[in-house]
Amino acid sequence: MIGVGVDIGGTFVKLFVMNEHGEIFRKEKIETDYSKGANGFIAQIGDFINSIQKEFPGQRVAVAVGAPGDVDNQRGILRYNPNLKFKDVADWPLADMLKKHTGITPCVANDATLAAWGVYEADLKRQGTNVLVVTLGTGVGGGMIINKELYQGSNGTAGEIGHTKIADLASGPLCGCGARGCLEAFVGTIGIKRRVMEAIAAHPQSELAKLVSAQKDFKIETVSRAAEKGCAAALKVWEDTGYYLGIGIANFTLVLDMDTVVLTGGVSGAAKFFMPALKRVLENQQIKTPFKRLKILVSQNPNIGGVGAAMYAIYRAQQEHVLCK
Ligand SMILES: [Zn+2]
């Protein structure tokens, strides 16, 4: 069995070809081509899948597509996506379009959801029964494994943890989604940058201020470099990040009672700076039981979206499921 994982992003599409033993045969990263519209874009992905069918004759090829945004996993439709700039599509029947091109009905799901499966299979080796994967980057997303199965919810939108609220809806910081008080507005890179700028204004002589002013574009790694040098302003930015993330994770734990949380994405690289504050929030909960044995792990694999899609394609095909139901 061959699994093709397609991880669609606004800038790049990552393609992974694997077998059921986790061997990677091909990985490609192509620029998201807007010039030929949605149909041309799908044709490009379809051509790649067809080339894999030719390359592995006689083998079953299963396909899963991770798409950013609001995905109808039951019907393989990308309902809404703010990052893909194709103008000719509203409800985008990704599964049907790819099937026409390749003869294969792909599983289509939210990208963070399939990345969560990648973490579960590739990193955790399916250890753990109830797992929450939190992706920390510009956006804050998530995916859940419940009773060892990927949980996608009633509409395919489960795991939108970045837009759960941890502050006042009227006065909290503004999130990219347009609302106020979202977790993402605190611990996504834009929220972290906001606190960095506040810290620099309050401490213009700090190492953080020096390092940030010396660079052209703001990079989140700079906050860690300053923290590494013992800069109190930078350490405070990470401490606050851990505190807010802790509030979010405590909320999810009270609802889900999971055994493992895995932090992934670029911001998770700073875990050593924000983890103590995060854990303090969990330790200070009134209801203790769900937090006692909760494991918080960090996993950084930039390819986990594509790997997760390929592995989930194989997993679903082995169970004779079509689409991503
Ligand atoms: Zn939001």
Paired with 2 in beta bridges are 19, 61
| Pair 55, 178 in one domain | no
| Pair 143, 237 in one domain | yes
The enclosing domain of 248 has a CATH number of: 3.30.420.40
Confidence of residue 36 (pLDDT cuts 50, 70, 90): confident
| Pair 170, 260 in one domain | yes
Is residue 196 in some structural domain?
yes
Q: Which comes out higher in pLDDT, residue 254 or 176?
A: 254
Measured in angstroms, how far is the CA atom of residue 170 from the centroid of ligand 1? 13
Is residue 323 in some structural domain?
no
Give pLDDT tens digits for 124-155: 999 999 999 999 998 899 999 999 999 999 99
Residues 6+ away with beta carbon under 8 Å from 255: none
Question: Tokens 């002013």 map to which residue?
Answer: 213
Average pLDDT over residues 87-116: 90
Measured in angstroms, how far is the CA atom of residue 186 from the centroid of ligand 1? 10
Measured in angstroms, how far is the CA atom of residue 8 from the centroid of ligand 1? 21
Neighbours of ion ligand 1 (CB under 5 A): 163, 175, 177, 179, 182
Q: Give the H or E element holding residue 135.
A: strand 131-136
Measured in angstroms, how far is the CA atom of residue 228 from the centroid of ligand 1? 30
Measured in angstroms, how far is the CA atom of residue 136 from the centroid of ligand 1? 14
| Pair 158, 267 in one domain | yes
Measured in angstroms, how far is the CA atom of residue 168 from the centroid of ligand 1? 12
| Pair 6, 104 in one domain | yes
| Pair 73, 153 in one domain | no
Measured in angstroms, how far is the CA atom of residue 179 from the centroid of ligand 1? 5
Has residue 203 got a pLDDT over 70? yes
Is residue 324 in some structural domain?
no
Is residue 14 in some structural domain?
yes
Measured in angstroms, how far is the CA atom of residue 182 from the centroid of ligand 1? 5
Please give the residue range of the domain that contains residue 133: 117-298
166 close to 184: Cβ distance less than 8 angstroms: no
| Pair 179, 221 in one domain | yes
Confidence of residue 315 (pLDDT cuts 50, 70, 90): very high
Measured in angstroms, how far is the CA atom of residue 306 from the centroid of ligand 1? 25
Has residue 190 got a pLDDT over 90? yes
| Pair 47, 168 in one domain | no
Measured in angstroms, how far is the CA atom of residue 256 from the centroid of ligand 1? 21
Has residue 104 got a pLDDT over 80? yes
Is residue 325 in some structural domain?
no
Q: How far apart are CA 304 and CA 246, in angstroms?
A: 24
Measured in angstroms, how far is the CA atom of residue 93 from the centroid of ligand 1? 26
Measured in angstroms, how far is the CA atom of residue 291 from the centroid of ligand 1? 26
Is residue 122 in some structural domain?
yes
| Pair 180, 291 in one domain | yes
Q: How far apart are CA 68 and CA 71, in angstroms?
A: 8
Measured in angstroms, how far is the CA atom of residue 89 from the centroid of ligand 1? 24
Alpha helices in the chain, H assignment, sequence order: 37-55, 94-102, 111-118, 184-187, 189-202, 207-213, 220-228, 232-256, 271-283, 289-292, 304-318
The token duo for 258 is: 């999971």
Nearest to 258 by CA among 112, 128, 93, 125: 128
- Strands 131-136 and 70-72 turn out to be unpaired
| Farthest-apart Cα atoms in the chain, separation | 66
Measured in angstroms, how far is the CA atom of residue 323 from the centroid of ligand 1? 28
The token duo for 135 is: 């992706």
| Pair 146, 105 in one domain | no
Is residue 40 in some structural domain?
yes
Has residue 89 got a pLDDT over 80? no
What pLDDT, on the 0 to 100 scale, is given for residue 301? 87
| Pair 242, 122 in one domain | yes
Per the structure, the count of domains in the chain is 2
Residues 6+ away with beta carbon under 8 Å from 43: 36, 101
What pLDDT, on the 0 to 100 scale, is given for residue 81? 74
| Pair 288, 172 in one domain | yes
Is residue 197 in some structural domain?
yes
